[in-house]
Structure 1
Amino acid sequence: MKWSWYIFLPSHTVIENTEAKLNDTTRDRDELKEKLNVCGDYSRQGWVHFGGSLYYISSEQKSWQDSRSDCQQRGADLVVINSREEQEFTRQFQKVTWIGLTDRETEGKWMWVDGTPLTMSFWGNGEPNSHDGNDEDCGEMKFLDNENSWNDKPCDIETVWICEKLLSVA
């Protein structure tokens, strides 16, 4: 009996497909490394990662508008709370803070700084109320021991704030 040995080499198409997958994997790795570097840079500046965003909690106090301007200078905006999980995350800092909610344009029509209307809310009991007839057009996180922790307050009062920077998915 005579044995024959054959070596089967992959076809040209298989080699091209394997090279393409390797290139895709290398590109994905490089993009992930870049994202980790960016997150590391923000982390060193005091930003905290949660979900698909980075959050910055100020250590100084400013009015709502000045707080928003500070966030924008950081490439972010005041926090927009989109879920119960994000509400719980922001409450954990245990600080009364400005959030990105206002009814400055139309009284009683609360809008987020990104232009979306308020749909899910966590207002404290009896809020919003424009207490004692005051012009309370800006939202804050105040009642920190309660899930429903939001309060409306005059925008010119100074307090700390939370910035949110969305991480790009790409």
Structure 2
Amino acid sequence: MELRNQEEDAKRETPADARCCQTCRLTIRVVIAVAATILVSGLIWCFVLFATWPAAPEVDQTSRTSGEEMMTERLQQCQKQRHDVDLMLHAATQDSRCSLCPDGWRWWRSRCYFFSVELQEDRRWNESAEFCLQHNSSLAVIKDSAEMEFIQSVMGKFPHLPFMWIGLTDAKQEGQWLWLDGTDIQHYMAGTVEWDADHRDCADLRGGGSLFASSCEAYGPWACKRDS
């Protein structure tokens, strides 16, 4: 029901709202870039501060006291910079229309991911793929080890999660596993699908990044992926 309401709200969005959203998203990206610059600068300052801190025993008391005061001042500056960054990020994300991903989705590396576990009832593979299409996305196509680690980290938060549907199938030709973007299974990463059989045409993802062939009629959670 909540997702249906979100879709109806999206249909009622005016051109002005769309422009506002685009502006806000651009603002968020700028803020993130500025925040990253500030944080890196602060870390460099702190590193230089500690690297140049006089540790020799022959340093006189006056110099040591002056150094301690300088270190305290620099640390306070680092703390203030971090606080300012937190305020900037909080202020930039107050408008719900300006979030990089829809409600219930997770942002990672310019992509939005939806993990259905605990949010939707389990579905069959085709139904999961249809859900993703209805939300301008597709079942997740995993393109590198970093993305696999990210998805695995999310799955690890649900210890009783048996598997998750992803966008990999050999329905067109038995034994030829293709991602939903049309590429071969090993186009992005080396890997194989375990338990392959004629009646198992859909792949699911399990712990450790392992892929297993399953019946497409089995019910389970799934992961969608879309651009942010």
Q: In the alignment, does 2:190 pair up with 1:129? A: no
What amino acid is aligned across from residue 42 of structure 1 in structure 2? C
More helix by share: 2
1:149 Cα shift? 1.8
**Runs of 5+ in structure 2 lacking a partner?**
1-21, 30-92, 156-160
Aligned-partner Cα distance in 2 for 1:34–1:68: 30
More strand by share: 1
Aligned-partner Cα distance in 2 for 1:102–1:84: 20
Q: Residues 30 and 162 (structure 1 numbering): CA distance in 2 closer, same or farther, change over 3 Å?
A: closer
Q: Residues 76 and 29 (structure 1 numbering): CA distance in 2 closer, same or farther, change over 3 Å?
A: closer
Q: What is the aligned-residue RMSD (CA, Å)?
A: 2.5
Q: In the alignment, does 2:106 pair up with 1:40? A: no
TM-score for both structures, normalised by structure 1: 0.68
State the SS of the aligned residue for 2:222.
Answer: strand
Q: How do 1:47-126 residues align onto structure 2 when only pairs under 5 Å count? A: 47-58=105-116, 59=119, 60-94=121-155, 95=161, 96-119=163-186, 120-123=189-192
- Residue 18 (structure 1) aligns with: none
Q: In the alignment, does 2:219 pair up with 1:152? A: no
TM-score for both structures, normalised by structure 2: 0.51
Q: Residues 74 and 86 (structure 1 numbering): CA distance in 2 closer, same or farther, change over 3 Å?
A: same
Contact 2:25-2:98 within 8 A present in 1 as well: no
1:93 Cα shift? 2.0
Tell me the matched-pair count. Answer: 131
Contact 2:25-2:100 within 8 A present in 1 as well: no
Contact 2:174-2:198 within 8 A present in 1 as well: no
State the SS of the aligned residue for 1:160.
Answer: coil
Aligned-partner Cα distance in 1 for 2:171–2:128: 15
**Runs of 5+ in structure 1 lacking a partner?**
1-27
Contact 1:134-1:154 within 8 A present in 2 as well: no
